[in-house]
Amino acid sequence: MDGLDPTACYRALTTRDSRFDGRFFTAVKTTRIYCRPICPARAPRFENCTFYPTAAAAQEAGFRPCLRCRPETSPSLAPWRGTSVTVSRALALIADGLLDADEASVEVLADRLGVGDRQLRRLFHQHLGASPVAVAQTRRVLFARQLIHETSLPMAEVALASGFGSVRRFNAVFQSLYGRPPGALRRSRAAPVTSAGPEVTLLIPYRPPYDWDAMVAWLTARAFTGMEHVEPGRYLRTFTNAWGQGAVEVSPAPGLDALRATLRVSDVRMLPSVVAQVRRVFDVGADVEAIRAHLSTDALLAPMLAARPGLRAPGGWDGFELAVRAILGQQVTTTAARQLGQRLMAAHGESLDPALTGDTHLQRAFPRPEVLAAADLTGMGMPTARARAVSQLAAAVAADPTLFQPGPSLADTVARFTRLPGIGEWTAQYIALRAVRETDAFPASDVALLRAATEAGGPRPTPEALLQRAEAWSPWRAYAAQHLWTSVALQAREPKPDSRTNARARRLPTAPSRRKAHA
Helices 117-127, 85-95: axis angle to 10 degrees equals 100
Q: Report d(CA 215, CA 220) in Å as an integer.
A: 9
Rounded-to-10 torsion of CA 219, 225, 228, 232: 50
* Contact present, 101 and 107 (Cβ < 8 Å): no
250 contacts 259 by C-beta, under 8 angstroms? yes
Catalytic residues: 35, 446
Q: Do residues 105 and 24 lie in contact, with contact meaning Cβ atoms separated by under 8 Å?
A: no
Beta bridge partners of 259: 204, 252
H helices present in 78-208, as ranges = 85-95, 106-113, 117-127, 132-150, 155-161, 167-178
Distance in angstroms (rounded) separating the CA atoms of residues 77 and 447: 31
Alpha-carbon gap, residue 298 to 183, rounded angstroms: 53
3-state secondary structure 152-183: CCCHHHHHHHCCCCCHHHHHHHHHHHHCCCHH
Q: Using an 8 Å Cβ cutoff, are 283 and 312 in contact?
A: yes
Q: Report DSSP letters for 283-310, one per residue.
A: TTT--HHHHHHHHTTSTTTHHHHHH-TT
- Rounded to the nearest 5°, which phi and psi values hold at 127? -100, -25
Residue 33 φ then ψ, to 5°:
-115, 145
Instruction: In whole angstroms, give the CA distance from residue 121 to residue 31.
Output: 29
Contacts of 425 (CB under 8 A, 6+ apart): 414, 418, 443, 445
Q: How far apart are CA 333 and CA 328, in angstroms?
A: 10
Residue 433: what are its φ and ψ, rounded to 5°? -70, -50
Helices 410-418 + 425-434 axis angle, to 10: 130
Backbone φ, ψ for residue 40 (5° rounding)? -75, -10
* Cα–Cα separations (whole angstroms), residue 170 to 103, 322, 405: 18, 35, 28
- Provide the terminal-to-terminal Cα distance of the chain, rounded to the nearest Å: 74
Give me the torsion for CA of 327, 285, 110, 397, rounded to 10°. -20
Element containing residue 385 per DSSP (H, E):
helix 384-399
Burial bucket for residue 479 (CB in 10 Å: 0-12, 13-18, 19+): buried
